[in-house]
Chains A and B, each alone.
Chain A
Amino acid sequence: MSALLQLDDVSMSFGGLKVTQEVSFTLQTGDRVGLIGPNGAGKTTLVNLVTGNLNPSSGRILLQGEDVTHTGISHRVRHGLVRTFQITRLFQTLSVADNVALALLQRKGLAMGFLSSATQRPEIRDEWTRILQVTGLESRAYDPVSVLAYGEQRLVEIAMALALKPKVLLLDEPAAGIPHEETHRVLDAIAALPADIAVLMIEHDIDLVFRFASRVLVLANGKLICDGTPDTVAANDEVRSAYLGSYANDRRSA
């Protein structure tokens, strides 16, 4: 069986700056992978390359065996590739429920209905209610997204990703802005996903990464410098000096 997502020697640069340099890795069914690295290492860029927001200058990207290197964004989404944004992007004037419902409708192929009701069809309604419960947003269902606190908007990002039932889910700093003590909501939400999908999470909250991931990729200056279990990564000197800093010590002492 082919990998869910496979990158072969993907490279890209902005002008002279090589942001992604020959990155290769695969995500298999059921993978829970963390992607860490210093600021500006190229993590978000990598996600953008995978989703099609940016085009690589060389290399290949395979989604469930299909070469999608040159296909459009929405095509990849329809084939199960879903992401969240580091800086939230939501439908600001629509309500939380509408945001989630749109994702649901799109996934179910109902989005071209011209004269049916959008959010209140029973099958849609039940599902967004459930998703909002999981993400703890049920009390805000009818508020327009624009009046939500920033942290709440991040949860809506995740709710929309859930609604799309991804095969491969890319989370760009999903827990940023959520209190440390509440990040379990994010983990809960991910845990509620089917086991056979692959999830890649970018996060600077190392606790969260290490709790979540069975495998961690480390990116620095556009290159993958480490790929292994959390423990091997935490023990890697290069990673510690370039990225983890005091955290590595804390962890050892904990």
Chain B
Amino acid sequence: MTAIGTTTAAGAPRLPGWVRYEVTAFAVVTALGLIGYLVFPFDLALLTRIIAVTFLVLSLDLVTGYAGVVTLGQAAIFGVAAYAVGNACLAGITDPVMLLGVGIIAGALMGLVSGVLISRFSALPQLVISIAFGQLVAALANKLAQFTGGSDGLAGFAPSAVLGVFEFDIFGRTSFGFSLVVLAVVLALLLRFVQSPFGLMCRGIRDDALRARMIGTAVYPRLIVMYGVSGAVAGVGGALSAINVGVVSLHSVSFEMSAEALVMLVVGGAGHLLGAVFGSILFQIFGHFVGSTNPFHWMTIVGGTLILITLFAPKGLYSAFASAMAKFRKSRVSQ
């Protein structure tokens, strides 16, 4: 259960000043966000929620797509971070940026813990440990009702204005703007991160852990660190979700959430950050669209679509898109 996605082009010579790549990504995300803002001014709540979940999918891509650790317990990190933010907010830390920090720290810590547990193993045992870990956290969240509100959810907290200026409004403009900026920044950083020596090494570990050991890499500690980074990213998502919604429920730590994130990742294409973003956005928009036009046959339609995707874009939509683009370019050149 390793070796997912191809990274053929990763080593191709890049133009000098390759930093531009990240800057471009930042600009593109922001631009896309602004377009979303202008075209769907009344759907900002949906777009905001999509962004929060996108962080979860990104974090999953880091451990699964890049480091080859298959997990169905990633939502535990997301959810715990969200609970941490909710509790911090109730305790009086209401500044959204500070809360984001709380989420990142909580996420990173949870990431390290799950890394210690999960990345010790490989293949099926690993998957099982991740499931068990997620279920344990979910069971605890249900039990520790004084911190989580149990099945009623943790509610009743309200973050203050972003930077003291932008109040959270009913149209969700502030939520959206705040989330979008955070996404653009984090994505740019991550794009850089996965090209770094550390990121490359993780991909090496994914391919063959023993080989990595044989060039002197201490595999286990690295996976834990990778998990920490991934946890921080999931923590951003959890924090945004808590800040924007004002309620944290058991759903955010649930198995369903983990599984859905995995589906989104695979739909987009694991092993590419942009694939994760793609998958998250497309899947949720599609799900929302089907859910609102035909809620009664939601499952049939979504199920059918997933099957079609595996038939026609087996490596995920991003790869399909990328190779279609490549073909298109080629055909133009040859003309």
On A, residues with C-beta under 8 Å from B are: 51, 53, 72-74, 77-78, 82-83, 85, 89-95, 97-99, 101-103, 105-107, 110-120, 141-144, 160, 164
Contacts of A116 on B, CB cut-off 8 Å?
196-197
Known A78-B216, A107-B216, A120-B14; judge A102-B201 contact (CB<8 A): yes
Q: Is the CB of B211 within 8 A of A164?
A: no
Contacts of A143 on B, CB cut-off 8 Å?
8
- Contacts of B133-157 to chain A: CB distance below 8 A: none
A97 to chain B, nearest CB (A): 5
How many angstroms between the C-alpha atoms of A78 and B212 in the bound complex? 12
B1-39 to A contact mask, C-beta < 8 Å, 1/0: 001011110111110001000000000000000000000
Contacts of B206 on A, CB cut-off 8 Å?
93
Contacts of B214 on A, CB cut-off 8 Å?
51, 73-74, 77, 82-83, 85, 89
Residue B90 lies at the interface, judged by CB distance under 8 Å to chain A:
no
**Within the complex, which residue of A83, A91, A144 is in contact with B204, where a contact is CB–CB below 8 Å?**
A91
How many angstroms between the C-alpha atoms of A114 and B199 in the bound complex? 7
Point out which of B201, B203, B216 has the most chain A C-beta atoms below 10 A from its C-beta. Answer: B216
How many angstroms between the C-alpha atoms of A164 and B229 in the bound complex? 28
Known A78-B216, A106-B201, A117-B18; judge A92-B11 contact (CB<8 A): no
Q: Is the CB of B13 within 8 A of A94?
A: no
Residue B192 lies at the interface, judged by CB distance under 8 Å to chain A:
yes
Q: Is the CB of A112 within 8 A of B207?
A: no
How many angstroms between the C-alpha atoms of A229 and B1 in the bound complex? 48
Q: Is the CB of B215 within 8 A of A114?
A: no
Q: Is the CB of B195 within 8 A of A118?
A: yes
Q: Is the CB of A118 within 8 A of B199?
A: yes
Known A94-B11, A95-B11, A142-B12; judge A111-B217 contact (CB<8 A): yes
B313 to chain A, nearest CB (A): 19
Contacts of B11 on A, CB cut-off 8 Å?
94-95, 97-98, 101, 119, 141-142
Q: Is the CB of B200 within 8 A of A118?
A: yes
B102-134 to A contact mask, C-beta < 8 Å, 1/0: 000000000000000000000000000000000
Residue B307 lies at the interface, judged by CB distance under 8 Å to chain A:
no
Q: DSSP class of B's interface residues: helix, strand, loop or mixed?
A: helix
Contacts of A73 on B, CB cut-off 8 Å?
213-214
Residue B289 lies at the interface, judged by CB distance under 8 Å to chain A:
no
Residue B193 lies at the interface, judged by CB distance under 8 Å to chain A:
yes
Contacts of B6 on A, CB cut-off 8 Å?
93, 144
A118 to chain B, nearest CB (A): 4
Contacts of A95 on B, CB cut-off 8 Å?
8, 10-11
B24 to chain A, nearest CB (A): 16
How many angstroms between the C-alpha atoms of A73 and B212 in the bound complex? 10
How many angstroms between the C-alpha atoms of A93 and B211 in the bound complex? 13
Known A74-B217, A91-B208, A93-B3; judge A112-B200 contact (CB<8 A): no
Apart from A115-B189, A116-B197, what 11 extra A-B contacts exist at CB < 8 Å? A74-B213, A78-B216, A93-B207, A94-B207, A98-B11, A101-B200, A102-B197, A107-B215, A111-B217, A119-B11, A164-B216
- Contacts of B173-223 to chain A: CB distance below 8 A: 189, 192-193, 195-201, 203-204, 206-208, 210-219
Point out which of B7, B11, B204 has the most chain A C-beta atoms below 10 A from its C-beta. Answer: B11
Contacts of A107 on B, CB cut-off 8 Å?
215-216
Closest to A80 in B: B216
Contacts of B219 on A, CB cut-off 8 Å?
74
Contacts of A91 on B, CB cut-off 8 Å?
203-204, 207-208, 211-212
Leading 10 A-B pairs by shortest Cβ distance: A77-B216, A95-B11, A91-B207, A118-B200, A113-B197, A91-B204, A105-B197, A78-B216, A73-B213, A118-B197
Q: Is the CB of A74 within 8 A of B203?
A: no
**Within the complex, which residue of A90, A111, A117, A144 is in contact with B8, where a contact is CB–CB below 8 Å?**
A144
Q: What are 18 pairs between A and B in contact, CB < 8 Å?
A: A77-B214, A77-B215, A77-B216, A89-B210, A89-B211, A90-B211, A91-B212, A94-B10, A94-B200, A94-B203, A94-B204, A98-B200, A98-B204, A111-B197, A112-B197, A117-B195, A118-B195, A142-B11
Contacts of B7 on A, CB cut-off 8 Å?
93-94, 144
- Contacts of B50-96 to chain A: CB distance below 8 A: none
Contacts of A120 on B, CB cut-off 8 Å?
13-14, 18
Known A95-B10, A141-B11; judge A115-B204 contact (CB<8 A): no
A189 to chain B, nearest CB (A): 17
Contacts of A90 on B, CB cut-off 8 Å?
207-208, 211
Known A90-B211, A106-B217; judge A117-B196 contact (CB<8 A): yes
Closest to B16 in A: A120
How many angstroms between the C-alpha atoms of A141 and B198 in the bound complex? 20
How many angstroms between the C-alpha atoms of A89 and B229 in the bound complex? 28
Contacts of B217 on A, CB cut-off 8 Å?
74, 106, 111
Closest to A83 in B: B214
Q: Is the CB of A115 within 8 A of B192?
A: yes
Contacts of A83 on B, CB cut-off 8 Å?
214
